[in-house]
Copies of this chain bind each other. A is one copy, B any other.
């Protein structure tokens, strides 16, 4: 059953007070802050109901209430108003990002630093997912007989390189021809489209084409085979020691362990890429036992038609989502523009 208006208002007050103070909230405080003009005693009744419905939790009998993940979920979905960034803050973010080094890695690292600085949480930035980027050009370079460096240039200045072992009789000229052929065949497709097409072409080549094309396709297939680990930039781990929920070292260790589990972090961020919008994941929702006490926000970046990567922050369930989401969104927008400008 849906919450009564009063109940919702009490819950909102509790959530916002808890976000601000990280301390259990008592009926007296709610009575004063809620604007409902009810006495603490009445508030207590409402709070008892909310507790029964799973929105509030009581650390112990005389300690006030703490909003549950469920309460945060309701707050995020139905109550929260995002607080737009001040112009001055936007300027600061844009300026800092402009000061990043020239390489893609430098830029993403800087984004990560900016986010952790502005959120005072741990920040995550995932490098563009190759599969969604457009192929610009491939080059093969003969290092020595039998060893070829394949270099794939993708949209946004991403460069993928892979060392390939080949038959020793492949010449530099063969490689140039192969590259030309492949560039012609695959130009401007996304990598995942290339992957699909590659399989089809390889089958065709078996029967129809000449040796050269078969070779070119084989090279490409090898260069593409295993998606290499996506790069992930993490910053701001030092921030968490300042948060009251991490005064307990054990809790801190849990977060550090989560942060070392790259696969799980990627999963968290990928969701925002798949849905192409800002995504909030709270505690249990992550399907990850060790994430129970944490929350995350993530936002995709990339041009309008398809996301390239995502950025996010991770912290205690009690985060100031209304303030942080706009920070992420704005940063993602600036980053997208920067990448766009590259090509």
Contact = CB atoms under 8 A, between A and B. Distances in A.
A242 B247 CA distance: 15
A294 to B, nearest CB: 14
B247 A241 contact: no
B226 A241 contact: no
A161 B162 CA distance: 14
Contact of A257 (B149, B159, B238, B253): B238
Contacts of A101: 226, 228-229
A256 interface: yes
Contact of A139 (B151, B238, B246, B252): B151
A interface residue count range (under 10 / 10 to 19 / 20 to 34 / 35 or more): 35 or more
A interface, over-half SS: mixed
Interface string A118-150: 000000000000000000110101011001010
A205 interface: no
Contacts of A65: none
A129 to B, nearest CB: 16
Interface centre among A161, A162, A343 (most CB of B within 10 A): A161
A130 to B, nearest CB: 12
Interface stretch (A26-34, A80-88, A102-110): A102-110
A106 B153 contact: no
B143 A141 contact: no
A190 interface: no
Contact of A103 (B147, B162, B260): B162
Contact of A252 (B137, B226, B249): B249
Interface of A: 101-103, 105-106, 109, 136-137, 139, 141, 143-144, 147, 149, 151, 153, 157, 159, 161-163, 226, 228-229, 231, 235-238, 240-242, 246-247, 249-250, 252-253, 256-257, 259-260, 342-343
